[in-house]
């Protein structure tokens, strides 16, 4: 599993901050580190180790952890640091159902407001994602996949919807990523075909059709995530018990 954290003792350099602030750079790398499963669910966040890896003090690390807590990826423990959030199967089902509803609504609204330039941008992302799929590059695939879904939500031109989507997306980002690794090649191919249908409906601005496709797409992701969660916890009962 490829990590985006730099080697131990290598600080974030000035060049890394040319496009983003130090805080944003730390947050991005820390989020990826958690999402990619480098810390087991329910486990404590190793602050000292992360500080050494990132070449930072605990103050900026803890500021980033506060953001990840707001996103639902971790839990802050009073006077005991932080741990990776552990989701129950029922909670996960509910979150995915809400996400399916939000993306369905976003698709319908996007078809009313999206520009030709935005569709062209999503099309470019789609073919970039397809390239990652062909090369079995899960990290690249997941990153661009998220960009596609976020672009559709942005095209809906509804800030309340966008804020709600961002909130719920953060809570399930980790399990969506890890479930991709458990996907059989057949299911991954099915997901790509679903994205072909998403793009085609978007090109035609077929709002009702796109809404239905996105809802089912998220339902299929939910099934894959639950399957992965169950398999993982069956293989590691201590994790399932929160140990």
Q: 10 Å Cβ neighbour count for 241?
A: 10
Instruction: Give the percent of the chain with pLDDT over 90.
Output: 56
Write down the pLDDT at residue 72. 85
Residue 84 belongs to what H/E stretch? strand 81-84
Burial (CB < 10 A; 0-12, 13-18, 19+), residue 68, is: buried
Write down the pLDDT at residue 97. 95
Nearest to 195 by CA among 155, 156, 141: 141
**Residue where the block lists tokens 């399932």:** 240
The CA–CA distances, whole Å, from 172 to 121, 125, 150, 199 equal 25, 22, 14, 23
Contact 45, 5 (CB under 8 A): no
Nearest to 36 by CA among 150, 175, 158, 130: 175
79-136: pLDDT as tens digits: 888 999 988 889 889 999 999 999 999 999 999 999 999 999 999 999 999 999 999 8
Q: Is the pLDDT of residue 238 over 60?
A: no
Nearest to 106 by CA among 170, 179, 19, 201: 201
Write down the pLDDT at residue 234. 67
Copy the structure tokens of residue 207: 């709002």
- Mind listing the domains of the chain with CATH numbers? 15-84 (1.10.10.10), 89-237 (1.20.120.530)
135-191: pLDDT as tens digits: 989 889 999 999 999 999 999 999 999 999 988 888 888 888 877 765 566 688 899
């Amino acid at each position: 599993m490829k990590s985006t954290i730099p080697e131990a003792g290598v600080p974030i350099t000035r060049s890394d901050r040319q496009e983003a602030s130090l805080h944003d750079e730390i947050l991005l790398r820390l989020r990826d580190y958690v999402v990619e499963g480098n810390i087991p669910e329910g486990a404590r966040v190793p602050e000292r180790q992360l500080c050494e890896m990132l070449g930072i003090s605990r103050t900026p690390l803890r500021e980033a952890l506060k953001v990840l807590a707001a996103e639902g990826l971790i839990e802050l423990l009073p006077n005991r640091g932080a741990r990776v959030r552990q989701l129950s199967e029922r909670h996960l089902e509910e979150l995915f159902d809400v996400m399916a509803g939000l993306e369905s609504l976003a698709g319908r609204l996007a078809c009313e407001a999206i520009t030709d330039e935005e569709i062209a941008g999503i099309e470019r992302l789609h073919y970039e994602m397809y390239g990652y799929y062909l090369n079995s590059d899960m990290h690249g695939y997941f990153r661009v996949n998220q960009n596609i879904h976020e672009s559709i939500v942005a095209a809906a031109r509804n800030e309340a919807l966008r804020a709600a989507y961002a909130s719920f997306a953060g809570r399930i980002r980790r399990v969506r990523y890890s479930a991709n690794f458990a996907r059989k090649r057949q299911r991954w191919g099915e997901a790509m075909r679903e994205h072909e249908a998403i793009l085609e409906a978007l090109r035609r601005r077929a709002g009702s059709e796109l809404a239905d496709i996105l809802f089912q797409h998220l339902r299929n992701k939910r099934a894959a995530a639950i399957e992965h969660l169950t398999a993982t916890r069956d293989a590691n009962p201590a994790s399932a018990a929160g140990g």
